[in-house]
Structure 1
Amino acid sequence: MDHDQTGCEAAPEGPMLCVNNCGFFGSAATMNMCSKCHKDMMLKQEQATLAASSIGNIMNGSSSSSGVEPAIAANVEISVDSVEPKTISAQPLVASGSEENLEKKPKDGPKRCTNCNKRVGLTGFNCRCGNLFCAVHRYSDKHDCPFDYRTAGRDAIAKANPVVKAEKLDKI
């Protein structure tokens, strides 16, 4: 009786399942579909409108006057821009993923000390020279490290402490 006066609808009795019968719960905001099914449906609709507009552009482009073409081209560019980043971002990820897989295949084995070839696993130590070492060879004098710590230390001190010199005579 109270909702009839206010015009509010009653809340549903319980949770509603997705209309696509995927097993998840849907909501009225997503047309009684779960978020995944709703997203897939929206993507299919977007692709269908893109295909229809591109077919219309091809048909109109060959037989229409030049005054109509820029308006159609502007509409097509907007819809293409909204769809292309998804396609472009997916393709390089697949390509870079396959390249990375090729590079990672030799490295899939256990991590080993560069000096003694002992398996180190998670306890390996990375040196500044770029190699991985066990606990015995982790120090630079134990593995004949080519990295110049002295020069690196001098550069760090020089950056942290700039030279400050006062002028001998005050300028007038």
Structure 2
Amino acid sequence: MDHDETGCQAPPEGPILCINNCGFFGSAATMNMCSKCHKDMVLKEEQAKLAASSIGSIVNGSSSSNANESVAATVNVQVNTVEPKTISVQPLSFGSSLGENGEVKPKEGPKRCNSCNKRVGLTGFNCRCGNLFCAVHRYSDKHECPFDYRTAARDAIAKANPVVKAEKLDKI
């Protein structure tokens, strides 16, 4: 029986090489690209859309959908005509947006005991007063801790054991 009579499709003649000439085999599901090239292409498209939306909001000063769509269309055309190595999202972000999103913290020095200034590293003990201490000064009586443990314990007990008073007699 022929494939035409049964309604089945014939398998392709042979394996299809990736259209990017990377040496791997592609498939019709990934637009004749190998999985790696297809994934890279999808990632670049997402970056271009993100860049277009950020450019549109910066240029127009508003978040209107019509302006963002027109900018997105022009950026997508540019992405397809320019080599992928020259596309970068980082130059599109400005100093004001970097300060809002993620501030770079200055590198802190080694962790030290607040009493003797000894380097403690990972073995330091955090006290309830908010300071860091070495093994010798970790106890509250050794570093003159200003935290009031008695009041904290009373509050914890009062919170855990509320006073319940029931009526002695049922009212009629």
For this structure pair, what is the TM-score category when the shorter chain's length is used for normalisation? 0.5 to 0.7
One-letter amino acid of the structure 2 residue matched with residue 147 of structure 1: F
Deviation of residue 95 (structure 1)?
Answer: 1.3
Q: Counterparts of 1:134-153 in structure 2 under 5 Å?
A: 134-153=134-153
Native 8 Å contact 2:114 2:133 kept in 1? yes
In structure 2, stretches of 5+ residues that fail to align are 56-62, 73-89
Deviations 1:109-152 (A, max 9, x none): 11110110001000000011110000000011110111111111
Amino acid of the residue matched to residue 41 of structure 1?
Answer: E
Match of 2:75 in 1: none
Which residue does 1:37 correspond to in 2?
41
Tell me how far apart the structure 2 counterparts of residues 49 and 136 of structure 1 sit (CA, whole Å): 56
Runs of 4+ in 1 over 6 A off after TM superposition: 1-4, 23-26, 45-51, 90-93
Secondary structure, in 3 states, of the residue corresponding to 1:35? Answer: helix
Given that 2:53 and 2:68 are in contact with CA atoms closer than 8 Å, whether structure 1 keeps it comes out as: no
TM-score relative to the length of structure 2: 0.58
Report the residue type matching 1:95 in the other structure.
G
Q: Look up the SS of the partner of 2:167 in the other structure.
A: coil
Q: CA deviation at 1:35?
A: 1.2
4-13 vs 116-125, greater mean Cα deviation = 4-13
Alignment length, in residue pairs? 139
Give 1:171 shift.
1.4
Normalising by structure 1, what TM-score? Answer: 0.58
Question: 8 Å contact 1:18–1:26 — kept in the other structure?
Answer: yes
Following superposition, the deviation at residue 156 of structure 1 comes to 0.9
What is the CA–CA distance in structure 2 between the aligned matches of 1:2 and 1:151, rounded to whole Å? Answer: 90
Comparing both chains, which one has the higher relative contact order based on Cα–Cα distances under 8 Å and sequence gaps of 6 or more? Answer: 2
* Inter-partner Cα distance in structure 1 for 2:44 and 2:150: 59
Distance 1:50 1:97 in 2: 14
Q: Secondary structure at the match of 1:99?
A: coil
Q: What does residue 163 of structure 1 align with?
A: 163
Q: Give 1:66's aligned residue.
A: none
Q: Is the Cα contact below 8 Å between 1:125 and 1:134 reproduced in 2?
A: yes
Would you say 1:111 and 2:111 are equivalent positions?
Answer: yes
Q: Distance in 2 between matches of 1:26 and 1:115?
A: 66
How far apart in 2 are the matches of 1:25 and 1:156?
Answer: 66
Does the 8 Å CA contact 1:112/1:121 hold for their aligned counterparts? Answer: yes
More helix by share: 1
